[in-house]
Amino acid sequence: MTTTGITTSSIVLFRRLIREGYRYNSFKYDPWWRTNVIQLFRENKDVTDPVEIQKLQDKVKSYRYLLKSSKDLSELLDSWNIAIPSRQRIEKSSQRVGLKVPEWPEDRELRIQKEKEFGLKK
């Protein structure tokens, strides 16, 4: 692999790592991790040994994989959590794909009762 190829792949890994971190609210609003990642990349920018560069890139890949898999696992557990009522789970999953859940029958009945009480029409 050429030096340019190594540099390019390092930049790509850096960007992917930063993007992956932004999926977490704690990373998004706390600049410490981003500053730390930038500092680590800057400290290692003068490394020229291809073997050492590959080791560093492998560390970045494994860290990114850890971030991605833990976030995916968290979302999966949330989607199948039995502690969350099925209604809330349905609403959450439909919002995730961009759909709007129809009005629930209980909510519709309450809305109709309130409209009758206050003489409002929709």
Residue 66 contacts residue 23 (beta carbons within 8 Å): no
Looking at residue 70, its pLDDT comes to 87
Which of the pair, 68 or 79, is modelled with greater confidence?
68
Nearest one of 55, 15, 18 to 33, comparing CA atoms: 18
Mean pLDDT across 72-83: 80
| pLDDT per residue as tens digits for the range 9-50 | 888 988 888 888 888 777 778 888 888 888 988 898 888 888
Residue that is written with structure tokens 């794909």 in the block: 97
pLDDT interval class at 71 (50, 70, 90):
confident
C-alpha span between 82 and 91 (Å, rounded): 15
Which residues are within 8 A (CB) of 84 and not within 5 positions of it... i.e. 6 or more apart? 78, 92
Looking at residue 5, its pLDDT comes to 64
| pLDDT per residue as tens digits for the range 83-114 | 778 888 888 888 888 888 888 888 889 988 88
C-alpha span between 43 and 34 (Å, rounded): 14
Looking at residue 4, its pLDDT comes to 59
DSSP 102: P
Cα end-to-end distance, the chain, whole Å: 67
Residue 66 contacts residue 20 (beta carbons within 8 Å): no
